[in-house]
Amino acid sequence: QLAAIVEFTENAIYSRTVDGLILTWNAAAEMIFGYSTREMVGQYTSRFLTPAQVAEGASLVGRLGMGYRVGQFEAKRQRKDGQQIVVTLVISPIRNSTGQIVAVSTIASDITARKRVEAILHESEARFRATFEQAAVGIAHVGLDGRFLRVNRKLCEILGYTPAELLGLSFQEI
């Protein structure tokens, strides 16, 4: 059952020795990174990582060896076809019976699409904020209770209040 879970998950799961020799590579790793299991097992991680990423991995393994936990983090990776992707990585030590780290397992999730959507949303929000702030007319966001939640510069000029003075007031109070 455990082997089936590893093989059929949507997350790339692979293991490697401490020095980077890839021991296992699941079907999701094939899909995410574009390399087949045959191409990767028995190869070093340098096959699909840049020198900086290999050094980063060695540093993380060193941190694991000193007893530190390596939590989930985001990283950029390159697929076999050259496409840049963003993944979340979770790296865990594999220890022998004496507690020595003999290998490392990595779980990677492709979050490239989510990061694209976040970037589009951030850009849209920035455009909206700029339009709101620089509008030639007074604009306010008002809560259901009629209180100002947000006001632009032009509205402050028209009403003769500072933003700090207006926020929290209602139409009835001015």
pLDDT band, very low/low/confident/very high, at 7 (cuts 50, 70, 90): confident
pLDDT tens profile 12-71: 999 999 889 999 999 999 999 999 999 999 999 988 888 888 888 888 888 887 777 788
- Give the distance, in angstroms, between the CA of residue 56 and the centroid of all CA atoms in the same chain: 17
Contact between 30 and 37 under an 8 Å Cβ cutoff? The reply is yes
- Mean per-residue pLDDT over the chain, rounded: 92
Please count the residues of the chain. Answer: 174
Predicted confidence at residue 34, as pLDDT, reads 97
Backbone angles phi, psi at 55, to 5 degrees: -65, -40
pLDDT band, very low/low/confident/very high, at 160 (cuts 50, 70, 90): very high
Alpha carbon of 137 to those of 61, 131, 150, 162: distances in Å?
Answer: 57, 11, 14, 16
Q: Is the pLDDT of residue 174 over 90?
A: no
Q: What is the DSSP letter of 98?
A: T
pLDDT tens profile 96-148: 999 899 999 999 999 999 999 999 999 999 999 999 999 999 999 999 999 99
Predicted confidence at residue 65, as pLDDT, reads 77
The CB density around residue 28, as the number of other CB atoms within 10 Å, is 21
Predicted confidence at residue 139, as pLDDT, reads 96
